[in-house]
Amino acid sequence: MKRMEENNPLHFPQEMIDMFAEIAKQQEAQVRQCKTMLAGFKATGETDLDYMDSYMDCLHDFMEQGDDVESLYLEYISHIATFNPLEAKERKEDLEESLGYKTEIAYAAAYVARNICRAEKGTEGDEFFKSHCWRVGSHGHDWKIMVTGFLYHVVEDLDCDAQRLVQLTKEKLTEWMREPKNDFWRYDFDEEELMPFAGEKCIPPSEEEWNELIDALNLLNEKTAKDKNSYLSRFKDKYLPIKVKIEDLEHQPSRKEEHHLFLQMLWDYVDKQEHDQLMNGG
């Protein structure tokens, strides 16, 4: 009895323990099957993604940062890279996103944005951050949209330089990554947590990606456009700024009604880009 209590310090019901054991057993069986199938895919040079995904996609249900399941899926991505490098690259980026390797970058941007709002707005800084920066950034569905969303109004409304903001974000991220156990930033915001949950490890952006953020912030700054038409024309074929501006207008009801036509044009740009990607096999 004492041994059972040591193995079950939280005193879970036996039925629950048995259920978890059965789930673990099923997952182990799925992993074994995926290993076998992947070996077959590689041996035969299989290239049918739909067919291969029908076996391999189950790994997403119980994958965690740095575990054997992630390693197995990365091996699958490496196989895809032998015949479709672009698809492999996109899948690797999506995997890093979903496992929380990128979320810390968004927190770093939010941290920088909040500090500048406090410095520029004083006692009103926190409210400006919540109503402008957090409102846009927290609704982003990937890390680039979140980072750009957090910094966008700091550039446009507080006249801060986009390149300097991105550099400050980069420095803050580097500082945090040097001390991964000092993860106070996870709990430093009163607002809801960003999704996906940040993992223990972070994969920092490339220089190209940092520059992409700078370009997006400069494009979004409406103060530098001579009129509304020239501002709208900037967004054509610019997916990241489009999505950030949509988040800005969609989550500000008063402006959403005011800029209904502008919002519709942005959505038309998105639809066209997604259509073109599908037609090009992207």
pLDDT digits (tens, 9 = 90+) for 41-100: 999 999 999 999 999 999 999 999 999 999 999 999 999 999 999 999 999 999 999 999
- The pTM for the full model equals 0.85
What are the Cα distances from residue 225, in Å, to 1, 119, 233, 235? Answer: 74, 27, 10, 12
The whole-angstrom separation of Cα 27 and Cα 16 is 17
Given a contact cutoff of 8 angstroms between Cβ atoms, the answer to whether 246 and 141 are in contact is no
* CA angle, 210 then 105 then 189, to 5°: 140
Our CA dihedral for 46, 51, 56, 58, rounded to 10 degrees, sits at: 180
pLDDT of residue 59: 97
- The pLDDT of residue 3: 41
* Three-class SS state of 203: coil
Sketch the domain layout of the chain as residue ranges.
Answer: 2-98, 103-279
CA neighbours closer than 13 Å in the CB half-sphere of residue 14: 2
To the nearest 10°, report the CA torsion of 192, 195, 197, 198.
Answer: -100
**Which residue stretches of the chain have pLDDT < 50?**
1-5, 275, 278-279, 281-282
